[in-house]
Every structure is written in structure tokens, then in C-alpha cells.
Amino acid sequence: MTVIKPKRTIFLRVFWVFAFLVLAITLFFAFMVIPMQKTALRQIMYAQAETVSKSIVQATSDAIISKDYGFIVEHNVEVLKNNAGIYYLIVSPKQGDKIFVNQKNWHLLAELDSNTAALQGEKISFVITDREQYKNVYHFVYPIRFSSIDWGWLHIGFSTADYDKYIHDMYYKIIYIISASLVMILVVGFFFARWISDPVSTISQLATQVAAGDLTVRSTIARNDEIGVLSDSFNKMVDSLMLSNQALEHYNQELEREVGTRTRELADLNADLDKRIKEEVAKSKTQEALLIHQSRSAAMGEMIGAIAHQWRQPLNALGLVQQNLQLRFKLGKLDESFMVSSMEKSDRLIHKMSTTIDDFRNFFKPNKHIEPFNAYHVIQTTAELLDAQLKRHNIVLTINCPDDLMINGLEGEFSQVILNLINNAKDILLERRPLRPAIDIGVNKTSDQTTRIVVKDNAGGIPEAIFDKIYDPYFTTKDQGKGTGIGLYMSKIIIENNMMGSLQAFNDADGANFVIELQDRPIVKTKPLI
């Protein structure tokens, strides 16, 4: 089994927390000590300066009183010689020249500079300053007073080199301490973090193995603390998990058996279902074919009615021609010219009737293929089939279609759809009887590939309640015996399934609009619907 090594996050956290704390404490104490040490050093410098000043004043007191400046100079030169830490001395009497002594020479000063003179007061004063070639001088001013008489001041310029050196040493020591702390942090922190995190990491690793399914692992950590308790608890938990797992396996096996049985049953059921589906599909196809057949039959029925209407007028005319011939013959006025004229007229009527038959026959002609056809011609021809009926009911049919607009598709089926839509419009116009019943057919190209045909009436529109049902098979709003309810259903099937277009309807202010959108299709042969 693959051992998964967990990330050493706890180790790192413990290590960094430990490191941070140790470093923070070290830095805190180190930087607490610095100002304290500086203060202490300044106090030491003050005490030292005061002691030196007292010593000089005491040693030269007689000379000061007796104005034995030679002794004062001699003594102070000696003092400087023996104290490399003193840069200079100034003996400054209230009146007269001031004696300036440094490590290399001595001379008299008529006046002190203003900064130095400003330090001369009743009390001891000091300042750390730069003076001529001396940098960071601890300039100490000690008032010289004998028997409550202010004689003058003693200025001593101490080098702060020792002080600076001590401070630098202190900084170095702090750096050493911090460095030592860092080393300690690295070493002790590493072992401390490992002491804390190793057992946790081990248990975590074991837990990961358990999570991965290995229930044979056990913790070997033996400690008398919380980790030890955790280790024991872990082992108990794994034992418990193992028992649960065994029970689960048992249940799983039973379940698998049950699932097997069910699966077989389901397979049998599926096999039966497949058979049933195929049967249903076949049934559906049969039914659909039947529907189409019914539709075509209904159409044919309607067409026969239409033929009857179409033929009614020429038949009447033919009858009139025959009556005229008979009347002329009885009157003896049947001449050749009238005969010829009547025969020509009869031929024309018979030809028209024959043409009507041809049109209807063409409409029902099977084995149509996808091929380009003139949209206007097809719509015009289809409309003419119903022309007699429309005129009879004063329904005005208008076709707005470019003469040269070509559609690639099934011409016969397209004309059947147009016929259905005109028929439906005619029927609803007859039902609702608007003042000027009209059907408008508009055709246009909405793009290079798309042709849009809109069949619109002014019968008031499709009721909202039935909008979702108008394409359902056998749904009709017409009176019993007048409608089959398959016209729109078949139209949608033809447009969307056979011509890969769309048929949708919407209402406008006048009435219903049926919109056919057709995409240009490549020219291929296809099987007839029936």
C-alpha cells in the first residue's frame, strides 16, 4: 500500500512560533537593556567627571587662590598626560585669561566661545558636543567655589571613545546573543517542533492510511500525555472501524447479490421495453402514415369539392352553348360560323375543365423531390384550386410574392401546406364573417438562405386558450364533420420534419398570422410521405 506523507504543517507552525517567541523575547530584552545601559554609562561618566574635577580643584586650590598659574598649567598638563581619555581642560576664572590645556599644548584664551560660556552656571553642567577637532566630547563644567566665593569654572572635555566602545561592544554582544538565539532557535526549535509534531504527524499519517483503506495500521506511540491518549484512542477507533468495515463488507456482499438479481430483472424488463418501444414506434409510424393518409384523403375530399366548384361554371356554360346550338338549330339559324364559334367555345370550356383535373392530379402527384420551384407559381396555382370557393364567399386573396423567388424543397408538400393554411383561413373567415374577409399571402427573402412566407387573415386571431393545442393531431375548432384536426399537425410535420423549416403562429390586430420559414436545401431526392 502506498504510504501517503502528510505535509509537515504542524512542525513548521510549532517551529516558527517557537522561533518567533524566542527571537521576540531576545530582541525585547536586548533593546530594553540598551537605553538602561546608556543611562548607566552616562551616570558613570558624570561621576567620573565630577571626581576628576574635584581632584584637580583640590590639587590646585592653593595655586588658584594664590594665582599660581604656572602650577595650574603644570598640574593640568600632568593630568592630561596621565589621562588619555581627557581631550582638554579649561581653567576659567571669572576674571582674566582662561587657561586651555590639551594633550599637545596649552595656551591662554581671552574669552570662551558663547556656547562654552553658556554652560557656566552655579551648578554642574555637561553636554556632549563637537569642539574644534574633537568629536563627541563629553564637555563637563564644574564650578570652582572656595568659602562660598565663586572663583570660576573648570571645563573638562572627556573622550567618549570608551563610552562609544562600550556601546558598540554592547551592540556586538546583542548581535552575538541574537545570533546565538538564532542558532538555539534552529537547533532547539527543530527538536522541540519535532517532539511536538512527530507523533501528530505519525498519527496523521496512520489516519491517512486508514482513510485510504488500510485498517491493519496501528500507532506505536507510547507516551503518558495527551498524545499517548490520542494514540490509544486511534488504535481503538481503527479496531472499531475494522469491525464496522467487516459488517459493511457483509452488507455489501448481500447488497451486491440483491443488485445482481435486480439488474437481471431490469435487463429483462429493458429487453421487453425495447421490444415494446419498437412496437410503439412502428405503431406510431403506422398511425402517422394513417394520419397522413387521412389528411390526404381529407384534402382529396376537399379537392373534389373544389373540382365540383371549378367545374360548375364551365359545365353551366357548356350547357348554355348546347342550348344555344339547339335553339339556333330549331330556329334554322344554325350557320357555320355560329357552329364554329360554339365548338371553339365548347372546346375552351372542356379544356379548362381538363386543366382543372390536371391541376388536381398534379397536386396529389407522389414522388416529389427536393428541387427548386417558383414560390409565386406554386402559391398562385394552389390558390387557384380554391379560387371558386373564395370568390363565392367574397374572400379576397392577395399574393405578394416576387415573381422570381425560388425555393429549394418539396413542391407538392409545400403546396399542400399552403392549401391547408388558405383553407383554415377561409373556414375561420366563413365562421366569423368579418366585413371584408381577406387572406394575404406575403413571401420574401429575409436572408440569402431564408425565405419567409406569411399567411394572414383578418378573422380576429386564434383564441389564447387554444394557442398551445393548434398543432395537436385531431384538434379542431370546426363543427362536427367539417374538420379532421390534422391539417395544421400535418403542415407542421411537413415543414419542420420534411423541409427542415419552421411553422409558427401569432395574432396581430386583424387576425392570425402563420409564418413559414424555410432554409435553402441542397437538391436531393427523397421518399414521398405516402
Partner 1 sequence: MNFTKKHSLLACGILFMCQLGFAQADVVADNNSRVNMGFYIKSITEQASISDIEISLNFWVKDALAVEAEKAGLYISSTGAFLYESMREMRDDYDKGKLDIIVAPPLLISRYFKRDEITDGFSGMLEGRQPDNLLLVVRSDKNINAIEDLRGKRIAMLEGDELSDIYLDTLFLRSFNKSYKKLNPSIQQQAKATRIVLDLYFDKADVGLVYFNSYQVMTELNPDVKNKIKILDSFEVRSKNYSYINKSYPLADEIRRIALSFYKSPRGKQILDIYKTPELDFLKVEELDLVDSLDREHARLLMHAIK
User: Of 29-88, which residues contact partner 1 (CB under 8 A)?
Assistant: 68-71, 73-74, 77
CB of 105 to partner 1, least distance (A): 5
**CB nearer partner 1, residue 102 or residue 219:** 102
Comparison of 71 and 192: residue with beta carbon closer to partner 1: 71
Considering beta carbons, is residue 73 or 499 the nearer one to partner 1? 73
Tell me the three state secondary structure of residue 183.
Answer: helix
Residue closer to partner 1, measured from CB, 107 or 145 = 107
77 versus 334: smaller Cβ distance to partner 1: 77
Site for partner 1 in 103-162 (CB under 8 A): 104-108
Name which of residues 474 to 493 contact partner 1 (CB under 8 A). none
Residue 428 near residue 386, CB atoms below 8 Å = no
* Binding track over 488-517 against partner 1, x by CB under 8 A: ------------------------------
Nearer to partner 1, 71 or 311 (CB): 71
| Contact (CB, 8 A) for 4 and 202 | no
What is the spatial distance between Cα 425 and Cα 429, in angstroms, rounded to a whole number?
6
Contacts with partner 1 in 219-248 (CB under 8 A)? none
Closest approach, Cβ 72 to partner 1, in A, equals 9
Binding-site residue total for partner 1 (CB under 8 A)?
12
Task: Report the amino acid identity of residue 292.
Answer: I
Q: Compute the half-sphere exposure of residue 166: CA atoms within 13 Å on the CB side of its CA.
A: 15
Least separation, in Å, of the C-beta of 76 and partner 1?
A: 11
**Shortest distance (Å) from residue 79 CB to partner 1:** 14
Give the binding range for partner 1 (CB under 8 A) out of 11-19, 102-110, 195-203, 387-395.
102-110
Q: How far is CA 217 from CA 213, 214, 243, 518, in A?
A: 10, 7, 14, 72
Q: Cell numbers at residue 218, please?
A: 496501528
Q: How many CB atoms lie within 10 A of CB 506?
A: 12
- In DSSP notation, 6-48 reads PP-HHHHHHHHHHHHHHHHHHHHHHHHHHHHHHHHHHHHHHHH
Please write down the long-range contacts of 294-303, taking CB distance under 8 Å and 24 or more positions apart: 294/484, 294/486, 295/484, 295/486, 295/487, 295/490, 296/364, 296/530, 298/484, 298/486, 298/487, 299/364, 299/416, 299/419, 299/420, 300/364, 302/423, 303/360, 303/363, 303/364, 303/385
Contact in structure between 52 and 156 (CB atoms under 8 Å): yes
Rounded to a whole number of angstroms, the minimum distance from the CB of residue 66 to partner 1 is 10
**Which residues sit opposite 157 in a β-bridge?**
88, 139
Pick 73 or 428: Cβ nearer partner 1: 73
The SS3 of residue 63 is helix
In the complex, minimum distance from the CB of residue 28 to partner 1, in angstroms, rounded to a whole number: 48
Closest approach of Cβ 151 to partner 1, in Å?
17
Choose the stretch contacting partner 1; rule: CB under 8 A; options: 101-109, 174-182, 356-364, 424-432: 101-109
d(CA 258, CA 251): 10
Q: Which of 41, 76, 39, 44 is nearest to 60 (CA)?
A: 76
Q: How far apart are CB 156 and partner 1 at their closest, in Å?
A: 18
Between 102 and 484, whose beta carbon lies closer to partner 1?
Answer: 102
Q: Which residue, 82 or 337, has its beta carbon nearer to partner 1?
A: 82
Residues that bind partner 1 (CB under 8 A): 68-71, 73-74, 77, 104-108
